[in-house]
Amino acid sequence: MSKELILKMSISVDGFVAGPNGEIDWIFRSRSEASTQWLVDLLGQVSLHAIGHRSYDMADYWPTSTHPLAPAMNEIPKAVFSRSGQIPTPSMGKTKAALADATEDTTALQSAMDSWMNPIMTGKDLIGDIQRLKAENGKPILAHGGASFATSLIAAHLVDVFHLVVHPIILGRGLSIFAGLEEPLDLKLEDLKQFESGGVIKTYRPVYPQ
């Protein structure tokens, strides 16, 4: 049985993942301890981070972060997707500075940096690369985005499960991840979680045409 590809994206009530100029500050206003714990639990169920090349600039943030998500973000292997097959090498300036200034054991910090510096490079053949990764043994793959990467996954019918984290905001206009679909796509609701912050996580399984 092949791995499933889970796509987790934050989204506004009116269906945008970012403002027209890529604004995402609204995402952080409705986060809560409960929703963060949900993410921690989700990361505990996956074996690979699938990341679009534009989102790979997070590489220097996580190794020195004390956020509850940091251990899983650092320890789980990464696959970075780029149509050119190339990405700029992250500077890792914060991490290197922390290593230079460290007075205690740096094994975990060095391991975290190495994990981000040595991802699986993929993306020249999106469908083939995803199918190859799905064929490997292990727990599901978690795709984080960004918007362009998510749009490509959805358009190619590669997503097995959608976790849509709906934030209590209407943007009016912005970036959609569903515009690449040529036909409407039916979804089956599998789970619904509501948080006091106003956020709602909707878990859907797509019903692809046979």
Assess whether pLDDT exceeds 80 at residue 1.
no
pTM: 0.92
For 94-145, how does the pLDDT look when each residue is reduced to its tens digit (9 = 90+)?
888 888 888 888 899 999 999 999 999 998 899 999 999 999 989 999 998 7
**Percentage of residues in the chain with pLDDT exceeding 90?**
78
- Beta carbons within 10 angstroms of residue 169's beta carbon: 17
Residue closest to 143 by CA, chosen among 113, 168, 177:
177
How far, in Å, CA of 48 to CA of 70, rounded?
A: 14
Q: Which tokens sit at 194?
A: 């509501």
Map residue 48 onto helix, strand or coil: strand
> Tokens 């890529």 — which residue?
22
Q: Which tokens sit at 112?
A: 């975290």
Instruction: State the pLDDT at residue 70.
Output: 95
Map residue 209 onto helix, strand or coil: coil
Assess whether pLDDT exceeds 90 at residue 176.
yes
How far, in Å, CA of 84 to CA of 89, rounded?
A: 14
Assess whether pLDDT exceeds 80 at residue 88.
no
Is the Cα torsion angle 145, 150, 131, 83 positive or negative in sign? Answer: negative
